[in-house]
Structures are given as C-alpha cells and as structure tokens.
Amino acid sequence: MQEQERNKRYNAYVEAKIAKTHAWPSLFNSFWVGGLICTLGQLINDLILLWFPSVSTQSAWTYTLIILIFLASLLTGIGVFDKIGAFAGTGTIVPITGFSNSIASPALEFKNEGIIFGMCAKMFIIAGPVIVSGTVASMIVGLIYLFL
Amino acid sequence: MKIRRQNQTVFFKNEPKIIGHYSIVGPKEGKGNLRKYFSEINKDDDLFGQKTYEKAERVMIERALDGAIKDSNLKYDDIRLVMAGDLLNQIISSSYAARSFDIPYVGVFGACSTMVEALALSACLVDGGHFDTIACATSSHFSTAERQFRFPLELGNQRPPTSQWTVTGAGSDIVSIKGSGPKILCATFGKVTDYGINDVNNMGAAMAPAAMNTLVTHFKDTNTSPKDYDLILTGDLGKLGSEILIDLMEDKGYKLGLNYKDCGQIIFKRNQDVLMGGSGCGCSATVFNSIIMKKLLSGEYKKVLFMATGALLSTTSSQQGDTVPGIAHAVVVEGVKNE
C-alpha cells in the first residue's frame, strides 16, 4: 500500500519534471509537409489525366496512389524518408506515404533474417494493425449495408 | 583471511587494479565531446565491415578485448577469464565475441549497468585470489538496440522527447592483482528498485530511484559523503534522470554538486540530436575507458565513484504492461598517485 502511494507520487513528480513540448511548431511542420504531399498527389493525378486522356478518373486515382507508394518506398530504401518523417511527423504518416514507409522499413530491417520468416513475415509488424482494423471496419460497414 | 563487508558494499584489501583499458566507438560518438579520448573511432562505418549490425557489435567487443589485453602488455594466456555482457537477447554479442578467444568465459547481464557489474565481480574474484587476471567487456550498438527494443531504423517516426540515444561502442578493462594502474577500492551491489514507471521511453526516470538507493547505501556503508570524491559518475541516466537523481538525493540529505556527472550527458554534443543524451552498455563503458581512465592514470582524479544504472526490462515485459525495474552497481576507483 505504502509502495503504491510512493510510486504514485513519484510518477506525478516525473510527469511534472518532463519538459513540456510545444505542439504548434511540430503541428506547423506536419501541416505544410502533409499539404505538400497531397498537392504532389493532385499534380500527379492531373498530369496523368492530361497526358493520357483515355485513362478514366477512377484509374488515375489508383495510378497516383501507386506512384506515391513507390516514391515513399524508394525514399525509405535510400535512407531519406526517416529524416523527413522525424521532421514532419504526422504530415508524412497520414498520407499513403506513411503506410508505404511502415511496410518498407521493417522489410529492410528484417531482410537479414531470411526472405520468408524475416522479410515477408515481419513486413507487417507496424502496418499489420492498420490492415486488420481496415478490414474489420469494412466488414462492419458491409453488414450495415446488408441490413439497411 | 576475512573479507570486510558492510551491508551491500565489499571492500578489497588485496588491491585489484585496472591494468589495461580500451574503448571503441562508431561515427556519431566519434564526432561527440570525447572524440580526443577514445582508443579507436570507426569514422565512417557503423557496420565495421560486417553484413549485419549484430555482427558489427561482436567485432567491437573483440577489438575492445584485444585492445585492452595489448594495453596491459599481457598475452592471451595470461588472461584467466573473460567476463562480458550486452543488451541483446541471450547476450549474443558477448558470447559470440568470446568464441574467438581461447579463454574461459562468463556472461553477465545487468542491462546498461553491465560494465560496473563486470568490474565489481572481477574485482571480487581477483581480490579473493581465485583468478589473477580477468578481462571485462561490454558493448551496445544503436542499430541493434533500435531493432530489438524500438522500431525499424528507416521508419519515419518522431522520437519522444524523453528518449535517449543508444551509444555505438564497446569498452574493456583488464582487472588484475599484478601490475600497476588505478585500484578498485570497494564495490556496492545494488538492489532492484521499481518506482512504477512504465514509460519505456523514459529510462532515466525508471533508473534514477535505483541509482539513489545504491548511492545512499554506498555513502552509509563507506561512511563517506559526495564531497569525498573527485567525481561521481553515473552511467546513462541522461539529462532528465540526472536531474531526478539530484532531487532524490537531496531528499535523502545528500547534495550532489559540481563533481557529479553523467556519461550519457557528456558523450554527445548538444547539437547531435540525442534528446536526453546517450544510453546503453557502451555509454558508461566507453566514457569510463576513455576520458575517466586517462585522468585516473594521470592522477588528475584521485577518487572516482563510478556507478552504472540499468533498466531490467524486456520487450515482452513492457508489451505486457509491466513497469520498468532499475538497478545500479557502484565501484570506487582510486587514481594513480604521482610521487
């Protein structure tokens, strides 16, 4: 009992001791880098539609996503993406670039544990929960549609 | 012969000495504050010519042991025992490094306190007359620690402001009853202390109570106070952890003054983006075996209290929501007297 009291007091003391971070500067960086990525996406989309008029709008979106995923993986592979991510935080995580990075980075990291149980298995250690929750959410939405 | 012992402190009467030392660090540490003092800096390759970072860490321990044995002017046959430990699961770096030496080996684990743990145990074994010369070594590598405890290296995440940067480096000491060098006077073995911190990104706060506990016990056992030492050096509490330790000690009636320093805070420069400072087994090992040993040998420091702290967690315990227990061991090293 006494120990719990002591630990509670210590935790409160540590909490107060930690220097408070300022949210606004990092939010600002997230905002403009994230915005830049979205603008880049829009640019790619518009260019596809401009250069290949036969492509439907729906397919152009898909191609845009593929290109963004490719770019993020490439930047991860050459060791640049982690630096951009450390600077921009959510700005690079929220767009599809973050998802691409979260798959590519463990794949690189665990490559030396073998192709199957290293790279292929551990590729999803970070993105796995996202995929699971995405799938579960779409199942729930599907059920709702079924009964509506 | 009766060994004098008080509570948690063992006093050595046969004067075990540190007769050789060596430190090896990676590129980032080589750009830090202590770049002039390390025995070896690998300036541009943190893989040390290996395929994986795990293999690189082994190479660091091998080179540290080699260097320390050379520094002590001994041959491999003169070393009776290798005592080493590191942070990786099943202390693979140490055991695999020991594979390439034809010397009996004992693996020890005390997380980031391993350097002092090995020094203290070696001093006990040497003082007791069981072995005449023991080589101790520890290491850590930023990239292997990140892979085991945190996220992949290339993941674009932000580090929490209380986190520390694992030092890439290894240090080694040769403890012997023969030869000359700084003497190990006594060792205080610490208790596992847990004040209920479960933030794995705030090791300083998790380890500070253990440091306080060992330090207070040490002062009581030896009947000394902080001002009796030229330097009180903690392992890797970092900026926040050291501040907490100073507060906790003040609470107990001890004032840590200008003679108190933390390895984690002095190894890197402020602009190296390491947040609270350095951490890992290699942090205390490389700092002690560079600048501190040089100053002990030159007689600039007469009495140094060297205490390394460790966080005894694993990824499993932290994922299951357990708190982070800390440990701290201390040794007192006496500088070489210049007549």
Percent with pLDDT over 90 in chain A: 82
Question: Do B199 and B322 fall within a single domain?
Answer: yes
Range of the structural domain that residue B123 is part of = 5-176
Q: Is A21 exposed, middle or buried (0-12, 13-18, 19+ CB in 10 A)?
A: exposed
Evaluate whether residue A43 is within a structural domain: yes
- CB B72, CB B30: distance < 8 Å: no
Number of domains in chain B: 2
Evaluate whether residue A7 is within a structural domain: no
Question: Do B223 and B168 fall within a single domain?
Answer: no
Q: State which amino acid sits at residue B316.
A: T
Mutation choice for A interface testing from B53, B89, B147, B157 by most A CBs within 10 A: B157
Among B248, B265, B264, which residue's Cα sits nearest to residue B256? B248
Give the largest CA-CA distance in chain B: 60
Evaluate whether residue A5 is within a structural domain: no
- CB B260, CB B246: distance < 8 Å: yes
User: Quick check: ipTM above 0.85?
Assistant: yes
Q: How confident is the model at residue B116, as a pLDDT? A: 97
Q: Which of B131, B147, B176 is the last residue of a domain?
A: B176
CATH of the domain at B326: 3.40.47.40
Evaluate whether residue A112 is within a structural domain: yes
Residue from the list B52, B154, B243 with its beta carbon closest to the beta carbon of A82: B154
Task: Please give the Cα distance from A44 to A48 (Å, whole number).
Answer: 6
DSSP string, B125-179: HHHTTS-SEEEEEEEE-HHHHHHHHS--TT---PPPTT--EE--EEEEEEEESSS
Evaluate whether residue A99 is within a structural domain: yes
Q: How confident is the model at residue B2, as a pLDDT? A: 53
Question: Do B146 and B276 fall within a single domain?
Answer: no
Q: How confident is the model at residue A21, as a pLDDT? A: 78
Evaluate whether residue B245 is within a structural domain: yes
Evaluate whether residue B120 is within a structural domain: yes
- CB B38, CB B25: distance < 8 Å: yes
Question: Do B163 and B295 fall within a single domain?
Answer: no
Q: Give me the residues of A, 16-35, that contact B with CB < 8 A.
A: 17-19, 21, 26
Question: Does A1 score more than 80 pLDDT?
Answer: no
| Residue range A26-79, pLDDT digits in tens | 899 999 999 999 999 999 999 999 999 999 999 999 999 999 999 999 999 999
Q: How confident is the model at residue A24, as a pLDDT? A: 87
Question: Do B327 and B188 fall within a single domain?
Answer: yes
Q: What letter does residue B320 receive in the DSSP assignment?
A: T
- Residues of chain A in contact with residue B155, where contact means CB-CB under 8 angstroms, are 82, 85, 101-102, 105-106, 126
Residue from the list A18, A102, A108 with its beta carbon closest to the beta carbon of B240: A18
Average model confidence (pLDDT) across chain A? 92
Q: Which of B150, B176, B202 is the last residue of a domain?
A: B176
Q: How confident is the model at residue A23, as a pLDDT? A: 83
Question: Do B270 and B300 fall within a single domain?
Answer: yes
Q: How confident is the model at residue B339, as a pLDDT? A: 57
Task: Please give the Cα distance from B32 to B283 (Å, whole number).
Answer: 12
- Residues of chain B in contact with residue A13, where contact means CB-CB under 8 angstroms, are 244, 247
Evaluate whether residue A121 is within a structural domain: yes
Rg (CA), chain B: 18
Task: Please give the Cα distance from B258 to B280 (Å, whole number).
Answer: 24
DSSP string, B177-192: SSS-S-EEEEEEPPPP
- Residues of chain A in contact with residue B51, where contact means CB-CB under 8 angstroms, are 112
Task: Please give the Cα distance from B29 to B203 (Å, whole number).
Answer: 20
Residue from the list A7, A26, A82 with its beta carbon closest to the beta carbon of B156: A82
Question: Do B66 and B109 fall within a single domain?
Answer: yes
Tokens of B279: 């951490």
Question: Do B169 and B247 fall within a single domain?
Answer: no
Q: How confident is the model at residue A22, as a pLDDT? A: 80
Question: Do B147 and B96 fall within a single domain?
Answer: yes
Q: Which of B138, B155, B176 is the last residue of a domain?
A: B176
| CB within 8 Å: A14 and B159 | no
Question: Do B111 and B227 fall within a single domain?
Answer: no
Establish if A105 touches chain B: CB-CB under 8 angstroms.
Answer: yes
Question: Does A101 score more than 70 pLDDT?
Answer: yes
Q: How confident is the model at residue A2, as a pLDDT? A: 85
Among A114, A27, A37, which residue's Cα sits nearest to residue A68? A37
Range of the structural domain that residue A113 is part of = 24-147
Evaluate whether residue A3 is within a structural domain: no
Tokens of B237: 């509490």
Q: How confident is the model at residue A89, as a pLDDT? A: 86
Number of domains in chain A: 1
Task: Please give the Cα distance from A6 to A36 (Å, whole number).
Answer: 49
Question: Do B203 and B320 fall within a single domain?
Answer: yes
Q: State which amino acid sits at residue B242.
A: S
- Residues of chain B in contact with residue A85, where contact means CB-CB under 8 angstroms, are 155-158
Question: Do B276 and B315 fall within a single domain?
Answer: yes
Q: How confident is the model at residue B254, as a pLDDT? A: 95
| Residue range A45-54, pLDDT digits in tens | 999 999 999 9
Tokens of B230: 């030229």
Select the more confidently predicted residue: B64 or A90: B64
Among B39, B108, B90, which residue's Cα sits nearest to residue B68? B39
Evaluate whether residue B339 is within a structural domain: no
Question: How does pLDDT run along chain B (339 residues), one tens digit per residue?
Answer: 455 667 899 999 999 999 999 999 999 999 999 999 999 999 989 999 999 999 999 999 999 999 999 999 999 999 999 999 999 999 999 999 999 999 999 999 999 999 999 999 999 999 999 999 999 999 999 999 999 999 898 888 888 889 999 999 999 999 999 999 999 999 999 999 999 998 999 999 999 999 999 999 999 999 999 999 999 999 999 999 999 999 999 999 999 999 999 999 999 998 888 889 999 999 999 999 999 999 999 999 999 999 999 999 999 999 999 999 999 999 999 999 875
